[in-house]
Structure 1
Amino acid sequence: MLKFKTLAVAGMIAALVLGLSANAFAFFGSDKFEAEVEKEQGAVKLLREVQRGGYDVMTTTELKAALEADKNILVIDTMPYKDSYAKGHVPGAAQFLFPIEDMNEWNAEATDGKTMADYEALLGPDKNRTIVVYCGFVKCTRSHNGAAWAKKLGYTNVYRYPGGIFAWKGAGFPEESVK
């Protein structure tokens, strides 16, 4: 009888431990699923911005290769000058501030007082020139505004580099800064 009670208690403890372990595994394992939902939401948001803006996208390695192959590419950093661009940017990139919020109408206040004509002057007269616009990181939408406005102004070869300066640095590629 004592053996039976001991065995029963051991069985209950084992069941309890296994039950808790399964719950703990399910609890801790759910993080990877939640992270996947967040990735999916980010990917869909990016896709919809690209579709709405009518431009294409470029990866970090594609941008690096394009810069090495073609010296006529215009790369535009849309981050704030002092807080970001001056500290580090893709080599040769020009700076033109765009807001994070969708800029459906030109807003000189949101572009540091610059006009649409200022942006078009930066882009230049060649409407077929390759233009690559970036900001800080994938979730940042300043680059969407910059690329969308280049398309609105009639430029045909416009790319958004969604990884931005964080992906550039993450790849270990050299950057420039303003001294």
Structure 2
Amino acid sequence: MEKLKLIVIVPMMMVLLAGISYASDSWPDTVMQKINVLYDLEKDKKDMPLSIEEAPVVSGEEAYTMWKSKKAVILDTRSKTQYDTERITGSENLYADELIKDPSLAQGLDKEKAYILYCNGIKCTRSPKAAILMNHLGFKKIYWYREGIPDWKSKGYPTE
């Protein structure tokens, strides 16, 4: 029985470690250091930072105004399952955890457009991670909606 466990567990660990290694190899150390700080905050169940240098923070009201006037594309950085369950009306999905593994996922986005990134609120790493990654890829008009979808919903703004 123990041998069977090893036969199953060892290949799974190899795949997991290969994925982590690939993600780290896709990005410079300086980028991964910033991402790892966010992972540590998440692991310790702490709030994400109040700000990040890669993207100014926008409030719910600012995000709503930009959304309503179509001055920015809203990017939901959560998983596809969460996105499909409920999202800000008209938002697009760019899952941050997949972007880390595959930077080419951002190739279809226009670097000249403004983007508001959100996820599940102040304890969620996905939108700040995506902001750091997109900034490194050359996106300059990135805004971080730190409070995310919980705040959007509490204000009664539209979701689908």
The two structures have a TM-score, normalised by structure 1, of 0.59
CA contact (8 A) 1:58 1:161 kept: yes
How far does residue 72 in structure 1 lie from its aligned partner after superposition?
4.8
Residues 1:90 and 2:115 are matched in the alignment: no
Displacement over 4 Å in runs of 4+: none
Higher-Rg member (1/2): 1
Which residue identity is paired with 2:152? W
Q: Distance in 1 between matches of 2:100 and 2:121?
A: 23
Q: Distance in 2 between matches of 1:72 and 1:165?
A: 19
Deviations 1:72-126 (CA, angstroms, capped at 9, x unpaired): 52111111111x1111111111112123xxx9xx642xxxxxx2122131x22xx
- 1:57 aligned partner: 57
CA contact (8 A) 1:60 1:163 kept: yes
What residue ranges of structure 1 are gaps of 5+ in the alignment?
1-40, 109-114
CA contact (8 A) 1:132 1:147 kept: no
SS at match of 1:169: helix
Deviations 1:132-156 (CA, angstroms, capped at 9, x unpaired): 1110111111001111111111111
- 2:29 aligned partner: none
The two structures have a TM-score, normalised by structure 2, of 0.65
Q: Distance in 1 between matches of 2:129 and 2:145?
A: 12
Residues 1:46 and 2:30 are matched in the alignment: no
Q: Distance in 2 between matches of 1:87 and 1:164?
A: 15
How far does residue 159 in structure 1 lie from its aligned partner after superposition?
0.6
- 1:148 aligned partner: 132
What residue ranges of structure 2 are gaps of 5+ in the alignment?
1-45
- 2:104 aligned partner: 117
- Give RMSD over aligned pairs: 2.0
How many residues get paired? 115
Which residue identity is paired with 1:80? S
Deviations 1:57-78 (CA, angstroms, capped at 9, x unpaired): 1111111111112x25211111
SS at match of 2:116: strand
Query: Percent identity between the aligned chains?
Result: 25
Q: Distance in 1 between matches of 2:125 and 2:78?
A: 10
